[in-house]
């Protein structure tokens, strides 16, 4: 993936207007993993890094666990969305859940434009984390506790994991999702800004999700409260850019 191709999609922003993006700290090369290492991802650190302002988050370190530390696993309960987070016999589930709610509220207050998460982690993984069944059988079907809280409480936030960035087309689409939502946040703050944003992005939205256009136009034409219209537009816009473009 080249710098030229990403600049074509994200546009050239001044440093003052760069997106604010939360990221699993280990993806930036910070040694916070349980084994004392990191999982630096070149596209995140080297390609996106100079174009965004990072907010680094390591839920396991931020709940007070040291580095290195004993590994943690998700353990199945009756509810697939509510596994336990265990470090040996130590149950960290409620500590991680209450930390997640507070940290997510803080990220909302800081108006982040997206979140890049570490795949397969029992805390940060959006999917494919190890899930230990009561009989000891392990399946790669878990969602990390922090990631689950993020998905449930902020579904319209652009979020994805680093495995998407292995595929150039998908990686570019994910980057574009963040940059479009950032331009929306800073530009569509009132009805005039919303109309201007729509005019400037209509063609691009149609390329990503043709069905979104009539729905967005009907939001623009509705007579509701401006702030509610902006919220509705943002939700549908984010869904349009969450889709993966056809090859
Ligand atoms: S995956 Fe998440 S919890 Fe694990 S080291 Fe990385 S940032 Fe920390």
Cα dist. 40→49, 58, 118 in Å? 12, 14, 10
Cα(144)–Cα(8) distance, rounded to whole angstroms?
A: 34
Given a contact cutoff of 8 angstroms between Cβ atoms, the answer to whether 151 and 100 are in contact is no
Residue 10: which pLDDT band, with cuts at 50, 70 and 90? low
In a shared domain, residues 194 and 109: no
In a shared domain, residues 158 and 205: no
pLDDT at 53 over 50: yes
Q: Which of 22, 30, 32, 145 to mutate to test the pocket of ligand 1 (most atoms within 8 A of CB)?
A: 32
Ligand 1 within 6 A of CB of 103:
no
In a shared domain, residues 86 and 129: yes
- 21 Cα–ligand 1 center, Å: 16
Ligand 1 within 6 A of CB of 58:
yes
- 130 Cα–ligand 1 center, Å: 14
Which residue owns the Cα nearest ligand 1 atom 6? Answer: 26
Residue 65 lies in a domain: yes
In a shared domain, residues 192 and 119: no
Q: How many CB atoms lie within 10 A of CB 14?
A: 6
Residue 103 lies in a domain: yes
pLDDT at 61 over 80: yes
Select, from the ranges 4-8, 13-17, 164-168, the one with the highest average predicted confidence (pLDDT). 164-168
Cα(150)–Cα(63) distance, rounded to whole angstroms?
A: 16
Per the structure, how many domains does the chain have? 2
Q: Which two tokens stand for residue 157?
A: 């936030």
pLDDT given at position 78? 87
Could you write out the DSSP letters of every residue in 63-86?
TT--SS----EEE--SSTT--EEE
In a shared domain, residues 78 and 137: yes
Residues in the chain, total? 247
Q: What is the average pLDDT score of the chain?
A: 93
Cα dist. 220→51, 63, 188, 201 in Å? 30, 43, 12, 14
Residue 200, strand partner residues: none
Ligand 1 within 6 A of CB of 33:
yes
The reported pTM is: 0.94
Could you write out the DSSP letters of every residue in 1-62?
--HHHHHHHH----GGGPPEEEEEGGGGT-S-STTS-----HIIIIIIGGGSEEEEE-HHHH
Which residue owns the Cα nearest ligand 1 atom 8? Answer: 58
> Collapsing DSSP states into helix, strand and coil, what is residue 194?
helix
- What residue numbers bound the domain in which 93 lies? 3-165
Which residue owns the Cα nearest ligand 1 atom 4? Answer: 33
- 241 Cα–ligand 1 center, Å: 26
Ligand 1 within 6 A of CB of 25:
yes
> pLDDT tens-digit profile of 118-173?
999 999 999 999 999 999 999 999 999 999 999 999 999 999 999 999 888 899 99
Ligand 1 within 6 A of CB of 32:
yes
Per DSSP, 190 falls in state S
In a shared domain, residues 35 and 137: yes
Picking from 116, 114, 59, the residue whose alpha carbon sits closest to that of residue 92 is: 59
In a shared domain, residues 197 and 93: no
Residue in the block written with tokens 């930390």: 99
- 128 Cα–ligand 1 center, Å: 15
pLDDT given at position 176? 95
In a shared domain, residues 114 and 220: no
pLDDT given at position 15? 47
List CB contacts of 34: < 8 A, sequence separation 6 or more: 60, 67, 68, 69, 70, 71, 72
């Amino acid at each position: 993936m080249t710098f030229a191709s990403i600049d074509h999609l994200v546009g050239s922003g001044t440093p003052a207007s760069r997106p604010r993006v939360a990221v699993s700290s280990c993806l930036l090369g910070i040694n916070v993993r349980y084994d004392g290492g990191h999982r630096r991802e070149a596209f995140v650190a080297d390609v996106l890094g100079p174009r965004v302002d990072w907010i680094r988050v390591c839920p396991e370190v931020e709940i007070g666990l040291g580095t290195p530390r004993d590994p943690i696993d998700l353990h199945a309960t009756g509810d697939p969305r509510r596994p336990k987070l265990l470090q040996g016999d130590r149950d960290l589930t409620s500590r991680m859940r209450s930390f997640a709610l507070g940290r997510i509220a803080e990220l909302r207050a800081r108006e982040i434009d997206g979140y890049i998460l570490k795949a397969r982690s029992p805390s940060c993984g959006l999917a494919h984390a190890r899930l230990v069944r009561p009989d000891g059988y392990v399946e790669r079907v878990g969602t990390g506790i922090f990631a689950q809280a993020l998905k449930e409480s902020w579904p319209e936030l652009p979020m994805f994991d680093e495995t998407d960035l292995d595929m150039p087309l998908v990686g570019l689409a994910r980057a574009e999702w963040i940059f479009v939502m950032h331009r929306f946040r800073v530009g569509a703050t009132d009805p005039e800004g919303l109309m201007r944003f729509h005019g400037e992005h209509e063609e691009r939205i149609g390329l990503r999700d043709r069905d979104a256009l009539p729905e967005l136009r009907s939001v623009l034409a509705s007579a509701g409260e401006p702030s509610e219209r902006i919220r509705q537009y943002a939700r549908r816009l984010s869904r349009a850019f969450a889709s993966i473009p056809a090859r």
